[in-house]
A and B are shown apart, each in its own frame.
Chain A
Amino acid sequence: MGTIAFDNVSKTFSGQTEVRALEGISLSIDEGEFVALLGPSGCGKSTLLNLLAGFEKITEGILLFDGKTVTRPGPDRGVVFQEAALFPWLNVWQNVIFGPQVQGISRAEYESRARELLKLVGLEAFAEALPVQLSGGMRQRVGIARVLAMSPRALLMDEPFGALDAQTRLSMQQLLLDVWQALNTTVLFVTHDIDEAILLSDRICVMSARPGRIVRTIPIALPRPRSIASLTSPEFVAYKAAIMSDMKVTHVPQT
Protein backbone atom coordinates (compact mmCIF):
# COMPACT_ATOMS: atom_id res chain seq x y z
CA MET A 1 0.00 0.00 0.00
CA GLY A 2 1.20 3.47 -0.83
CA THR A 3 2.85 2.75 -4.17
CA ILE A 4 3.24 5.65 -6.57
CA ALA A 5 3.79 5.45 -10.33
CA PHE A 6 4.33 8.37 -12.68
CA ASP A 7 4.53 7.14 -16.27
CA ASN A 8 5.68 9.73 -18.80
CA VAL A 9 3.65 12.45 -17.07
CA SER A 10 3.65 15.99 -18.40
CA LYS A 11 1.96 19.11 -17.11
CA THR A 12 1.25 22.28 -19.03
CA PHE A 13 -0.41 25.26 -17.40
CA SER A 14 -2.66 27.00 -19.88
CA GLY A 15 -3.39 30.69 -19.63
CA GLN A 16 -2.12 33.87 -21.26
CA THR A 17 1.14 32.10 -22.00
CA GLU A 18 1.39 28.34 -21.79
CA VAL A 19 3.92 27.06 -19.29
CA ARG A 20 5.37 23.60 -19.64
CA ALA A 21 5.92 22.81 -15.97
CA LEU A 22 6.77 19.11 -16.21
CA GLU A 23 8.01 17.02 -19.11
CA GLY A 24 8.15 13.25 -19.36
CA ILE A 25 8.21 12.41 -15.65
CA SER A 26 8.60 8.70 -14.96
CA LEU A 27 9.02 7.71 -11.36
CA SER A 28 7.92 4.73 -9.32
CA ILE A 29 8.01 4.69 -5.57
CA ASP A 30 7.59 1.52 -3.55
CA GLU A 31 5.64 1.02 -0.40
CA GLY A 32 7.45 2.53 2.59
CA GLU A 33 10.06 4.26 0.47
CA PHE A 34 11.24 7.78 1.27
CA VAL A 35 11.93 9.74 -1.92
CA ALA A 36 13.15 13.33 -2.05
CA LEU A 37 12.59 15.65 -5.00
CA LEU A 38 15.51 18.04 -5.05
CA GLY A 39 15.88 21.06 -7.27
CA PRO A 40 15.93 24.84 -7.53
CA SER A 41 12.74 26.84 -7.17
CA GLY A 42 10.65 26.83 -10.32
CA CYS A 43 11.75 23.35 -11.41
CA GLY A 44 8.27 21.92 -11.02
CA LYS A 45 8.88 19.79 -7.95
CA SER A 46 5.89 21.23 -6.12
CA THR A 47 3.77 20.79 -9.25
CA LEU A 48 4.75 17.13 -9.33
CA LEU A 49 3.61 16.77 -5.73
CA ASN A 50 0.37 18.67 -6.44
CA LEU A 51 -0.43 16.25 -9.28
CA LEU A 52 -0.07 13.31 -6.95
CA ALA A 53 -2.07 15.08 -4.26
CA GLY A 54 -4.84 15.57 -6.82
CA PHE A 55 -4.74 19.39 -6.56
CA GLU A 56 -3.75 19.68 -10.23
CA LYS A 57 -4.60 17.50 -13.20
CA ILE A 58 -1.96 15.90 -15.42
CA THR A 59 -1.83 16.97 -19.08
CA GLU A 60 -0.30 13.79 -20.51
CA GLY A 61 0.77 10.39 -19.25
CA ILE A 62 -0.43 8.09 -16.49
CA LEU A 63 -0.34 8.71 -12.75
CA LEU A 64 -1.26 5.89 -10.42
CA PHE A 65 -1.51 5.69 -6.67
CA ASP A 66 -1.88 2.13 -5.38
CA GLY A 67 -2.65 1.11 -8.94
CA LYS A 68 -5.52 3.56 -9.35
CA THR A 69 -5.58 6.71 -11.44
CA VAL A 70 -5.32 9.86 -9.33
CA THR A 71 -8.38 12.03 -9.90
CA ARG A 72 -8.89 14.07 -6.74
CA PRO A 73 -7.37 14.76 -3.34
CA GLY A 74 -8.07 12.26 -0.59
CA PRO A 75 -7.09 11.24 2.92
CA ASP A 76 -5.00 8.32 1.59
CA ARG A 77 -2.41 10.93 0.53
CA GLY A 78 -1.70 13.26 3.43
CA VAL A 79 -0.17 16.57 2.37
CA VAL A 80 2.04 18.66 4.64
CA PHE A 81 2.24 22.22 3.32
CA GLN A 82 5.17 24.58 3.63
CA GLU A 83 3.27 27.09 5.80
CA ALA A 84 1.38 24.33 7.65
CA ALA A 85 -1.97 25.68 6.34
CA LEU A 86 -3.72 25.06 9.66
CA PHE A 87 -7.21 26.46 10.15
CA PRO A 88 -6.49 29.58 12.22
CA TRP A 89 -9.93 29.54 13.90
CA LEU A 90 -9.50 25.99 15.23
CA ASN A 91 -7.25 25.11 18.13
CA VAL A 92 -4.52 22.47 17.89
CA TRP A 93 -6.80 19.63 18.95
CA GLN A 94 -9.59 20.64 16.56
CA ASN A 95 -7.08 20.92 13.72
CA VAL A 96 -5.73 17.44 14.39
CA ILE A 97 -9.16 15.79 14.47
CA PHE A 98 -10.52 17.72 11.46
CA GLY A 99 -9.70 14.89 9.03
CA PRO A 100 -11.27 12.01 10.99
CA GLN A 101 -14.25 14.26 11.80
CA VAL A 102 -15.14 15.20 8.23
CA GLN A 103 -14.73 11.58 7.20
CA GLY A 104 -17.43 10.68 9.70
CA ILE A 105 -15.22 8.57 11.92
CA SER A 106 -16.63 8.25 15.44
CA ARG A 107 -15.04 10.15 18.27
CA ALA A 108 -14.28 6.96 20.17
CA GLU A 109 -12.24 5.77 17.21
CA TYR A 110 -10.10 8.83 16.56
CA GLU A 111 -9.73 10.32 20.01
CA SER A 112 -7.07 8.06 21.49
CA ARG A 113 -5.05 8.04 18.29
CA ALA A 114 -5.18 11.83 18.04
CA ARG A 115 -3.97 12.09 21.67
CA GLU A 116 -1.10 9.74 20.92
CA LEU A 117 -0.13 11.78 17.87
CA LEU A 118 -0.14 15.03 19.83
CA LYS A 119 2.17 13.35 22.32
CA LEU A 120 4.36 12.02 19.51
CA VAL A 121 4.91 15.52 18.16
CA GLY A 122 5.32 16.92 21.70
CA LEU A 123 2.27 19.15 21.78
CA GLU A 124 -0.01 17.53 24.39
CA ALA A 125 0.27 20.67 26.50
CA PHE A 126 -0.85 22.86 23.57
CA ALA A 127 -4.10 21.11 22.60
CA GLU A 128 -6.14 24.22 23.42
CA ALA A 129 -3.79 26.72 21.77
CA LEU A 130 -4.67 28.49 18.55
CA PRO A 131 -2.20 28.25 15.64
CA VAL A 132 -1.36 31.93 15.94
CA GLN A 133 -0.10 31.29 19.46
CA LEU A 134 2.42 28.69 18.24
CA SER A 135 5.89 29.03 16.75
CA GLY A 136 6.51 28.03 13.14
CA GLY A 137 8.02 24.71 14.14
CA MET A 138 5.12 23.88 16.45
CA ARG A 139 2.61 24.74 13.72
CA GLN A 140 4.37 22.37 11.36
CA ARG A 141 4.26 19.63 14.00
CA VAL A 142 0.49 20.12 14.14
CA GLY A 143 0.48 19.93 10.34
CA ILE A 144 2.20 16.55 10.54
CA ALA A 145 -0.01 15.27 13.37
CA ARG A 146 -3.26 16.16 11.58
CA VAL A 147 -2.11 14.27 8.51
CA LEU A 148 -1.05 11.23 10.51
CA ALA A 149 -4.44 11.26 12.25
CA MET A 150 -5.92 10.05 8.95
CA SER A 151 -3.48 7.11 8.72
CA PRO A 152 -2.55 7.99 5.14
CA ARG A 153 -0.81 5.47 2.91
CA ALA A 154 1.57 8.17 1.68
CA LEU A 155 2.88 11.46 3.03
CA LEU A 156 3.40 14.24 0.50
CA MET A 157 5.54 16.96 2.00
CA ASP A 158 6.05 20.23 0.15
CA GLU A 159 9.15 21.92 1.60
CA PRO A 160 7.63 21.51 5.06
CA PHE A 161 10.67 22.84 6.89
CA GLY A 162 11.67 25.46 4.33
CA ALA A 163 10.38 28.40 6.34
CA LEU A 164 11.94 27.36 9.64
CA ASP A 165 15.18 28.54 11.19
CA ALA A 166 18.18 26.19 11.01
CA GLN A 167 17.91 24.85 14.56
CA THR A 168 14.18 24.21 14.44
CA ARG A 169 14.64 22.59 11.07
CA LEU A 170 17.14 20.12 12.53
CA SER A 171 14.79 19.12 15.32
CA MET A 172 11.92 18.75 12.84
CA GLN A 173 14.07 16.53 10.63
CA GLN A 174 14.87 14.39 13.64
CA LEU A 175 11.17 14.22 14.50
CA LEU A 176 10.27 13.19 10.98
CA LEU A 177 12.96 10.50 10.97
CA ASP A 178 11.61 9.10 14.23
CA VAL A 179 8.02 9.21 13.05
CA TRP A 180 8.78 7.65 9.69
CA GLN A 181 11.01 4.97 11.16
CA ALA A 182 8.12 4.02 13.44
CA LEU A 183 5.32 4.13 10.85
CA ASN A 184 7.08 3.31 7.60
CA THR A 185 4.67 5.10 5.28
CA THR A 186 5.67 6.05 1.77
CA VAL A 187 6.99 9.62 1.69
CA LEU A 188 7.45 12.02 -1.21
CA PHE A 189 9.41 14.95 0.10
CA VAL A 190 10.02 18.15 -1.86
CA THR A 191 13.03 20.23 -0.86
CA HIS A 192 15.72 22.53 -2.20
CA ASP A 193 18.03 21.66 0.69
CA ILE A 194 20.68 19.10 -0.26
CA ASP A 195 21.48 18.14 3.34
CA GLU A 196 17.84 17.54 4.10
CA ALA A 197 17.39 15.36 1.03
CA ILE A 198 20.39 13.17 1.86
CA LEU A 199 19.60 12.90 5.56
CA LEU A 200 16.00 11.81 5.11
CA SER A 201 15.61 9.89 1.90
CA ASP A 202 16.29 6.49 0.39
CA ARG A 203 16.50 8.04 -3.03
CA ILE A 204 16.93 11.56 -4.36
CA CYS A 205 15.43 12.64 -7.68
CA VAL A 206 17.31 15.69 -8.87
CA MET A 207 15.18 17.95 -11.04
CA SER A 208 16.01 20.69 -13.52
CA ALA A 209 13.86 23.59 -14.61
CA ARG A 210 12.03 24.68 -17.77
CA PRO A 211 10.59 22.24 -18.45
CA GLY A 212 10.83 20.34 -15.17
CA ARG A 213 12.46 16.94 -15.60
CA ILE A 214 14.09 14.39 -13.38
CA VAL A 215 17.68 14.56 -14.53
CA ARG A 216 19.22 12.07 -12.11
CA THR A 217 18.26 9.59 -9.47
CA ILE A 218 20.67 9.01 -6.60
CA PRO A 219 20.10 6.13 -4.14
CA ILE A 220 21.19 7.06 -0.61
CA ALA A 221 22.58 3.99 1.13
CA LEU A 222 23.27 5.57 4.53
CA PRO A 223 22.38 3.08 7.28
CA ARG A 224 19.04 3.31 9.09
CA PRO A 225 17.98 4.32 11.62
CA ARG A 226 19.44 7.73 10.93
CA SER A 227 19.56 10.82 13.07
CA ILE A 228 20.78 14.35 12.61
CA ALA A 229 24.16 13.04 13.82
CA SER A 230 24.48 11.41 10.38
CA LEU A 231 24.91 14.91 8.92
CA THR A 232 28.62 14.87 9.75
CA SER A 233 29.50 11.29 8.79
CA PRO A 234 32.06 10.82 5.99
CA GLU A 235 29.53 8.94 3.81
CA PHE A 236 27.13 11.86 4.15
CA VAL A 237 29.79 14.35 3.13
CA ALA A 238 30.73 12.19 0.15
CA TYR A 239 27.11 12.15 -1.04
CA LYS A 240 26.87 15.86 -0.61
CA ALA A 241 30.02 16.53 -2.62
CA ALA A 242 28.78 14.30 -5.43
CA ILE A 243 25.37 15.95 -5.58
CA MET A 244 26.80 19.44 -5.43
CA SER A 245 29.11 18.80 -8.33
CA ASP A 246 26.22 17.16 -10.12
CA MET A 247 23.97 20.18 -9.65
CA LYS A 248 26.89 22.40 -10.61
CA VAL A 249 26.74 24.20 -7.29
CA THR A 250 30.12 25.92 -6.98
CA HIS A 251 31.43 28.98 -5.25
CA VAL A 252 32.64 30.35 -8.60
CA PRO A 253 30.02 32.50 -10.29
CA GLN A 254 28.97 30.99 -13.58
CA THR A 255 29.89 32.95 -16.69
Chain B
Amino acid sequence: MSLSTGHMGSKPTASRAPGLVSPVLSPAGRRSLRQGLLAVVLPALVVAIWQMAGKDGSLFGGVLPTPDRAWQAWKIWAFGSTGLSLNPYSGTWLANLLFSAERVGKGFLAAILVAVPVGLAIGWNRIASGALDPTVQLLRPIPITAWLPFSIAVFGIRDMGAVFLIALGAFYPIVVNTAQGARDVERNLIRAAMMMGAGRWTILRRVVLPASLPSIFTGLRIGLGIAWTAVIVAEMVAVKSGLGYVLWDAYYVGRMDVVIADMATIGLLGLLSDRIILGIEGWVLKWRRLQSFHS
Protein backbone atom coordinates (compact mmCIF):
# COMPACT_ATOMS: atom_id res chain seq x y z
CA MET B 1 0.00 0.00 0.00
CA SER B 2 2.57 2.48 1.09
CA LEU B 3 4.13 2.54 -2.38
CA SER B 4 1.24 4.50 -3.85
CA THR B 5 -0.74 5.78 -0.91
CA GLY B 6 2.29 7.65 0.34
CA HIS B 7 1.45 10.44 -2.07
CA MET B 8 -2.28 9.95 -2.22
CA GLY B 9 -2.58 9.86 1.54
CA SER B 10 -0.36 12.72 2.51
CA LYS B 11 -1.21 15.30 -0.15
CA PRO B 12 -4.83 16.00 0.81
CA THR B 13 -3.84 16.18 4.49
CA ALA B 14 -1.20 18.74 3.68
CA SER B 15 -3.45 20.90 1.55
CA ARG B 16 -6.41 20.72 3.90
CA ALA B 17 -4.56 21.56 7.07
CA PRO B 18 -1.28 23.26 6.18
CA GLY B 19 -0.95 24.84 9.60
CA LEU B 20 -1.51 21.70 11.64
CA VAL B 21 1.48 19.66 10.62
CA SER B 22 4.93 21.16 10.73
CA PRO B 23 6.12 21.91 7.20
CA VAL B 24 9.59 20.66 8.18
CA LEU B 25 8.40 17.04 8.18
CA SER B 26 8.83 14.96 5.06
CA PRO B 27 5.86 12.94 3.76
CA ALA B 28 7.34 9.83 5.40
CA GLY B 29 7.84 11.68 8.68
CA ARG B 30 4.28 12.96 8.60
CA ARG B 31 3.06 9.45 7.89
CA SER B 32 4.88 7.99 10.88
CA LEU B 33 3.67 10.83 13.09
CA ARG B 34 0.13 10.07 11.97
CA GLN B 35 0.57 6.37 12.70
CA GLY B 36 2.01 7.20 16.13
CA LEU B 37 -0.96 9.43 16.98
CA LEU B 38 -3.40 6.78 15.72
CA ALA B 39 -1.76 4.18 17.95
CA VAL B 40 -2.30 6.25 21.11
CA VAL B 41 -5.99 7.04 20.54
CA LEU B 42 -7.52 3.73 21.66
CA PRO B 43 -5.44 3.17 24.82
CA ALA B 44 -5.94 6.80 25.84
CA LEU B 45 -9.69 6.44 25.35
CA VAL B 46 -9.86 3.24 27.44
CA VAL B 47 -7.83 4.79 30.26
CA ALA B 48 -9.96 7.95 30.20
CA ILE B 49 -13.26 6.02 30.38
CA TRP B 50 -11.83 3.78 33.08
CA GLN B 51 -10.77 6.81 35.09
CA MET B 52 -14.12 8.56 34.71
CA ALA B 53 -16.13 5.44 35.55
CA GLY B 54 -14.40 5.16 38.92
CA LYS B 55 -15.64 6.71 42.13
CA ASP B 56 -13.26 7.60 44.95
CA GLY B 57 -10.41 5.92 43.14
CA SER B 58 -12.04 2.58 42.43
CA LEU B 59 -14.61 0.63 40.38
CA PHE B 60 -16.89 -2.31 41.09
CA GLY B 61 -17.26 -1.48 44.76
CA GLY B 62 -13.59 -1.03 45.49
CA VAL B 63 -12.30 -4.10 43.59
CA LEU B 64 -10.61 -2.31 40.72
CA PRO B 65 -8.48 0.81 41.26
CA THR B 66 -8.61 3.66 38.80
CA PRO B 67 -5.59 4.38 36.55
CA ASP B 68 -4.38 7.25 38.71
CA ARG B 69 -4.27 4.94 41.76
CA ALA B 70 -2.35 2.35 39.76
CA TRP B 71 0.01 5.12 38.64
CA GLN B 72 0.59 6.18 42.26
CA ALA B 73 1.23 2.56 43.22
CA TRP B 74 3.72 2.21 40.38
CA LYS B 75 5.60 5.34 41.45
CA ILE B 76 6.05 4.01 44.98
CA TRP B 77 6.86 0.53 43.62
CA ALA B 78 9.45 2.04 41.32
CA PHE B 79 11.02 4.83 43.37
CA GLY B 80 10.06 3.99 46.93
CA SER B 81 8.27 6.39 49.26
CA THR B 82 9.47 8.90 51.72
CA GLY B 83 8.35 8.15 55.19
CA LEU B 84 6.32 5.21 56.36
CA SER B 85 4.61 3.15 53.71
CA LEU B 86 2.41 0.12 53.77
CA ASN B 87 3.56 -0.89 50.32
CA PRO B 88 5.78 -3.94 50.81
CA TYR B 89 7.07 -3.64 47.22
CA SER B 90 8.31 -0.10 47.69
CA GLY B 91 11.29 0.57 45.47
CA THR B 92 11.56 -2.99 44.13
CA TRP B 93 10.19 -2.46 40.63
CA LEU B 94 13.48 -2.39 38.74
CA ALA B 95 14.93 -5.33 40.66
CA ASN B 96 11.89 -7.50 39.97
CA LEU B 97 11.77 -6.40 36.36
CA LEU B 98 15.41 -7.40 35.95
CA PHE B 99 14.79 -10.78 37.61
CA SER B 100 12.06 -11.54 35.09
CA ALA B 101 13.97 -10.13 32.14
CA GLU B 102 17.05 -12.14 33.03
CA ARG B 103 15.04 -15.36 33.23
CA VAL B 104 13.39 -14.63 29.89
CA GLY B 105 16.77 -13.81 28.40
CA LYS B 106 18.39 -17.02 29.64
CA GLY B 107 15.46 -19.28 28.74
CA PHE B 108 14.93 -17.67 25.35
CA LEU B 109 18.62 -17.89 24.49
CA ALA B 110 18.72 -21.56 25.51
CA ALA B 111 15.64 -22.18 23.35
CA ILE B 112 17.29 -20.51 20.33
CA LEU B 113 20.53 -22.44 20.76
CA VAL B 114 18.71 -25.77 20.74
CA ALA B 115 15.69 -25.06 18.53
CA VAL B 116 17.45 -23.50 15.54
CA PRO B 117 19.93 -26.37 14.94
CA VAL B 118 17.25 -28.99 15.66
CA GLY B 119 14.79 -27.22 13.37
CA LEU B 120 17.34 -26.96 10.56
CA ALA B 121 18.17 -30.66 10.98
CA ILE B 122 14.49 -31.65 10.88
CA GLY B 123 13.81 -29.53 7.83
CA TRP B 124 16.94 -30.43 5.91
CA ASN B 125 17.74 -34.04 6.74
CA ARG B 126 15.31 -36.94 6.35
CA ILE B 127 16.97 -39.06 9.01
CA ALA B 128 17.01 -36.22 11.54
CA SER B 129 13.41 -35.48 10.65
CA GLY B 130 12.40 -39.11 11.18
CA ALA B 131 14.29 -39.35 14.45
CA LEU B 132 13.34 -36.00 16.02
CA ASP B 133 10.15 -34.65 14.56
CA PRO B 134 7.70 -37.27 15.96
CA THR B 135 9.03 -36.70 19.49
CA VAL B 136 8.75 -32.93 19.14
CA GLN B 137 5.20 -33.27 17.84
CA LEU B 138 4.34 -35.66 20.69
CA LEU B 139 5.59 -33.30 23.41
CA ARG B 140 4.34 -30.09 21.83
CA PRO B 141 0.66 -30.43 22.86
CA ILE B 142 1.65 -30.53 26.56
CA PRO B 143 1.18 -26.91 27.69
CA ILE B 144 3.96 -25.38 29.78
CA THR B 145 1.52 -24.97 32.66
CA ALA B 146 1.26 -28.76 32.77
CA TRP B 147 5.05 -28.89 33.16
CA LEU B 148 4.93 -26.77 36.36
CA PRO B 149 4.76 -29.62 38.90
CA PHE B 150 7.45 -31.50 36.98
CA SER B 151 9.64 -28.41 36.91
CA ILE B 152 9.24 -27.70 40.65
CA ALA B 153 9.84 -31.36 41.53
CA VAL B 154 13.02 -31.49 39.47
CA PHE B 155 14.48 -28.02 39.95
CA GLY B 156 12.83 -26.93 43.19
CA ILE B 157 11.73 -23.35 43.90
CA ARG B 158 14.72 -21.94 42.10
CA ASP B 159 15.66 -19.94 39.03
CA MET B 160 16.41 -23.02 37.00
CA GLY B 161 12.78 -24.11 37.07
CA ALA B 162 11.57 -20.84 35.58
CA VAL B 163 14.32 -20.84 32.97
CA PHE B 164 13.43 -24.42 32.04
CA LEU B 165 9.76 -23.56 31.51
CA ILE B 166 10.62 -20.49 29.45
CA ALA B 167 13.07 -22.42 27.28
CA LEU B 168 10.58 -25.22 26.76
CA GLY B 169 7.76 -22.86 25.87
CA ALA B 170 9.85 -20.87 23.40
CA PHE B 171 11.43 -24.00 21.92
CA TYR B 172 8.37 -25.30 20.05
CA PRO B 173 7.46 -22.31 17.89
CA ILE B 174 11.12 -21.75 17.01
CA VAL B 175 11.76 -25.38 16.10
CA VAL B 176 8.56 -25.72 14.06
CA ASN B 177 9.10 -22.50 12.12
CA THR B 178 12.79 -23.18 11.53
CA ALA B 179 12.01 -26.66 10.20
CA GLN B 180 9.36 -25.22 7.90
CA GLY B 181 11.80 -22.61 6.63
CA ALA B 182 14.45 -25.24 5.95
CA ARG B 183 11.94 -27.45 4.13
CA ASP B 184 10.78 -24.57 1.94
CA VAL B 185 14.19 -23.54 0.59
CA GLU B 186 13.87 -23.08 -3.15
CA ARG B 187 15.17 -26.16 -4.94
CA ASN B 188 17.14 -24.19 -7.50
CA LEU B 189 19.10 -22.37 -4.77
CA ILE B 190 20.27 -25.74 -3.43
CA ARG B 191 21.03 -26.91 -6.95
CA ALA B 192 22.95 -23.72 -7.70
CA ALA B 193 25.09 -24.25 -4.60
CA MET B 194 25.73 -27.91 -5.48
CA MET B 195 26.64 -26.90 -9.02
CA MET B 196 29.21 -24.46 -7.63
CA GLY B 197 30.83 -27.23 -5.65
CA ALA B 198 29.34 -26.69 -2.19
CA GLY B 199 29.15 -29.74 0.07
CA ARG B 200 26.21 -30.56 2.32
CA TRP B 201 27.63 -28.73 5.32
CA THR B 202 28.37 -25.60 3.31
CA ILE B 203 24.89 -25.70 1.81
CA LEU B 204 23.35 -25.99 5.26
CA ARG B 205 25.36 -23.06 6.59
CA ARG B 206 25.42 -20.78 3.57
CA VAL B 207 22.11 -21.53 1.84
CA VAL B 208 19.60 -23.32 4.07
CA LEU B 209 20.26 -21.18 7.17
CA PRO B 210 20.00 -17.77 5.48
CA ALA B 211 17.03 -18.90 3.38
CA SER B 212 15.28 -20.05 6.57
CA LEU B 213 15.90 -16.82 8.49
CA PRO B 214 12.53 -15.23 7.68
CA SER B 215 10.74 -18.26 9.16
CA ILE B 216 13.19 -18.41 12.05
CA PHE B 217 12.36 -14.82 12.97
CA THR B 218 8.65 -15.62 12.85
CA GLY B 219 9.36 -18.43 15.31
CA LEU B 220 11.44 -16.11 17.50
CA ARG B 221 8.64 -13.57 17.80
CA ILE B 222 6.06 -16.20 18.72
CA GLY B 223 8.56 -17.86 21.04
CA LEU B 224 9.32 -14.62 22.84
CA GLY B 225 5.63 -14.05 23.52
CA ILE B 226 5.41 -17.52 25.03
CA ALA B 227 8.57 -16.85 27.03
CA TRP B 228 6.88 -13.90 28.75
CA THR B 229 3.81 -16.02 29.48
CA ALA B 230 6.06 -18.73 30.88
CA VAL B 231 8.07 -16.41 33.11
CA ILE B 232 4.94 -14.98 34.75
CA VAL B 233 3.42 -18.43 35.31
CA ALA B 234 6.68 -19.79 36.67
CA GLU B 235 7.23 -16.85 39.00
CA MET B 236 3.69 -17.06 40.32
CA VAL B 237 4.33 -20.62 41.42
CA ALA B 238 7.92 -21.73 41.23
CA VAL B 239 10.13 -18.83 42.38
CA LYS B 240 9.99 -16.01 44.93
CA SER B 241 10.94 -12.97 42.84
CA GLY B 242 10.14 -11.25 39.61
CA LEU B 243 7.07 -9.58 38.10
CA GLY B 244 5.01 -12.78 38.23
CA TYR B 245 5.76 -13.25 41.92
CA VAL B 246 4.83 -9.65 42.72
CA LEU B 247 1.69 -9.98 40.62
CA TRP B 248 0.37 -12.97 42.53
CA ASP B 249 1.59 -11.76 45.90
CA ALA B 250 -0.02 -8.33 45.46
CA TYR B 251 -3.28 -9.98 44.48
CA TYR B 252 -3.06 -12.15 47.57
CA VAL B 253 -2.77 -9.16 49.88
CA GLY B 254 -5.43 -7.23 47.99
CA ARG B 255 -3.17 -4.68 46.33
CA MET B 256 -4.97 -4.50 42.98
CA ASP B 257 -3.28 -1.15 42.25
CA VAL B 258 0.07 -2.96 42.24
CA VAL B 259 -1.47 -5.78 40.15
CA ILE B 260 -2.52 -3.28 37.49
CA ALA B 261 0.87 -1.55 37.55
CA ASP B 262 2.55 -4.97 37.24
CA MET B 263 0.36 -5.97 34.28
CA ALA B 264 1.18 -2.73 32.50
CA THR B 265 4.88 -3.33 33.14
CA ILE B 266 4.69 -6.84 31.65
CA GLY B 267 2.84 -5.54 28.62
CA LEU B 268 5.36 -2.80 27.94
CA LEU B 269 8.31 -5.14 28.43
CA GLY B 270 6.80 -7.67 26.02
CA LEU B 271 6.23 -4.91 23.48
CA LEU B 272 9.76 -3.59 23.91
CA SER B 273 11.40 -7.00 23.52
CA ASP B 274 9.31 -7.72 20.42
CA ARG B 275 10.46 -4.39 18.96
CA ILE B 276 14.06 -5.40 19.61
CA ILE B 277 13.56 -8.67 17.70
CA LEU B 278 11.86 -6.74 14.89
CA GLY B 279 14.79 -4.32 14.78
CA ILE B 280 17.31 -7.15 14.52
CA GLU B 281 15.15 -8.83 11.89
CA GLY B 282 14.98 -5.66 9.81
CA TRP B 283 18.74 -5.38 9.93
CA VAL B 284 19.52 -9.05 9.22
CA LEU B 285 16.85 -9.43 6.56
CA LYS B 286 17.50 -6.27 4.58
CA TRP B 287 17.24 -8.30 1.37
CA ARG B 288 13.84 -9.49 2.46
CA ARG B 289 12.59 -6.03 3.38
CA LEU B 290 13.53 -4.73 -0.05
CA GLN B 291 11.52 -7.53 -1.63
CA SER B 292 8.35 -6.79 0.24
CA PHE B 293 5.54 -4.59 -0.95
CA HIS B 294 5.79 -2.21 1.99
CA SER B 295 9.41 -1.26 1.52
Contacts and interface: CB of A to CB of B under 8 A. Distances in A.
B195 A77 contact: yes
Contact of B188 (A85, A99, A132): A85
B182 to A, nearest CB: 15
Contact of A74 (B192, B195, B286): B195
Interface stretch (B38-46, B88-96, B196-204): B196-204
B48 interface: no
A87 B188 contact: no
Interface in A104-137: 130-133
Contact of B196 (A131, A133, A150): A150
Interface of A is mostly: loop
A191 B81 CA distance: 81
Interface in A62-79: 72-75, 77-79
Given A79-B192, A85-B189, A103 B291 contact: no
A68 B207 CA distance: 29
B186 A85 contact: yes
B189 A73 contact: no
B195 A130 contact: no
A99 B210 contact: no
Contacts of A74: 195, 197
B186 A132 contact: no
Nearest to A79: B195
B205 to A, nearest CB: 10
B206 A73 contact: no
A87 B197 contact: no
Nearest to A77: B195
Interface in B186-237: 186, 188-189, 191-199, 202, 206-207, 210-211, 213
A83 B187 CA distance: 12
B291 A132 contact: yes
Contact of B189 (A78, A87, A102): A87
A73 B287 contact: no
A88 interface: yes
A54 B194 CA distance: 9
Contacts of A150: 196-197
Interface string A168-199: 00000000000000000000000000000000
B260 to A, nearest CB: 45
22 contacts: A53-B191, A55-B191, A73-B195, A75-B195, A75-B197, A77-B195, A79-B195, A85-B186, A86-B192, A87-B207, A87-B210, A88-B287, A88-B288, A88-B291, A98-B193, A98-B196, A99-B196, A99-B197, A102-B206, A103-B196, A132-B290, A132-B291
Interface of B: 186, 188-189, 191-199, 202, 206-207, 210-211, 213, 285-288, 290-291
Interface of A: 53-55, 72-75, 77-79, 81, 83, 85-89, 98-99, 102-103, 130-133, 146, 150
9 tightest Cβ-Cβ pairs between the two chains A and B? A99-B196, A85-B188, A73-B194, A75-B197, A102-B198, A73-B195, A85-B192, A89-B210, A103-B197
